[in-house]
Amino acid sequence: MSRERLRATFDTVASLYQKARPDYPADLYSELLAMTGVEPPAHLLEVGCGPGKATRPLAERGFQITAIELGEALAEEARRGLRDFPGVSVITSSFEAWEPPAGALFELLYAATAWKWVDPEVKYEKAAALLPPGGHLAVWDADHAFPPDFDPFFTEIQAVYDEMGEGDVDSWPPPRPEDHPDSHAADFEESGHFEVVGTRRYVWGLHYTAEEYIALLETFSGHIAMQAAKREHLYNEIRRRLAARPQERLTRHWLAVLTVGRRL
């Protein structure tokens, strides 16, 4: 399925997204602001805000934010969740199609678990045009992390994915967090518009019951697009395996790699 079609799937689970997806670490925002030097009430631009997961922590610090969201349902969730922040506006549009006000410039453009969905032929050039020289672009994702002590549940369930023909890893286990490549830094530099001024890694673990974990999977594009019979089989296997555990829970580790670039 194409990037354009996959990125549209998130809007179908807008009501699940805010609760099921993890919050980003508080240290990420502190270090983002330390690296960029931006201070309230600076005007920020967020690309792909979803329901406002990464919007609220910066709005609470007093920033003005223009947030762009492709999905109508997700944008509406964001508006409801951010209604107490008059300095935040949510615009329903793709970043590629959005036409900013004439002369608009932002001190920081950022994207949380969204930048990979933007057209690579457009995103860096457009981001650069919306930032003054010395302005900053910051992106980060929330990926599945596999520290040395990762939960063996994921080795077991990977066999189920493989049996269904839905496995998407080259080798098992995947790289440890410290070996996980920064998927954005090289693109920043190669764009010719940005120099990387810093990267940070954050790893944390969360506990999930079967239904909590299934709700999380329901917000992933690959699972939304999966054939219904395969998805049902996978979810039944998750329930069966966790029911056999004393605590009936799994631990999933998360990795966020923050990449910050300065506009040349």
pTM for the whole structure: 0.94
CA distances from 158 to 81, 166, 177, 247 (A): 35, 9, 18, 21
Per-residue pLDDT reduced to its tens digit, 117-160: 999 999 999 999 999 999 999 999 999 999 999 999 999 999 99
Residue 264's contacts (CB-CB under 8 Å, 6 or more residues apart) are 128, 133, 192, 193, 194, 195
Q: SS3 sequence, 62-127?
A: CCEEEEEECCHHHHHHHHHHCCCCCCEEEEECCCCCCCCCCCCCCCEEEEECCHHHCCCCCHHHHH
Task: Quote the CA–CA distance of 66 and 84 in Å, as a whole number.
Answer: 15
User: What does the pLDDT read at residue 183?
Assistant: 85
Average pLDDT, the chain: 94
Per-domain residue ranges of the chain: 3-145+176-205+252-263
User: What does the pLDDT read at residue 1?
Assistant: 57
Q: What values do phi and psi take at 259, rounded to 5?
A: -120, 125
Q: What is the maximum alpha-carbon separation in the chain?
A: 60
Task: Quote the CA–CA distance of 110 and 127 in Å, as a whole number.
Answer: 9
Q: What values do phi and psi take at 140, rounded to 5?
A: -155, 160
User: What does the pLDDT read at residue 180?
Assistant: 85
Residues of the chain with pLDDT below 70 are 1-3, 6
Task: Quote the CA–CA distance of 140 and 185 in Å, as a whole number.
Answer: 11
Q: SS3 sequence, 163-174?
A: HHCCCCCCCCCC
Burial annotation 29-66 (CB, 10 A radius, 16+ → b, else e): bebbbebbebeeebebbbbbbbbbbbbbbbbeeebbbb
Coarse DSSP helix, strand, coil percentages of the chain, rounded to the nearest 5 percent:
40, 25, 40
Residue 72's contacts (CB-CB under 8 Å, 6 or more residues apart) are 11, 92
Residue 215's contacts (CB-CB under 8 Å, 6 or more residues apart) are 16, 19, 20
Type of residue found at 122: V
**Coil, helix or strand for 29?**
helix
Superfamily for domain range 3-145+176-205+252-263: Vaccinia Virus protein VP39 (3.40.50.150)
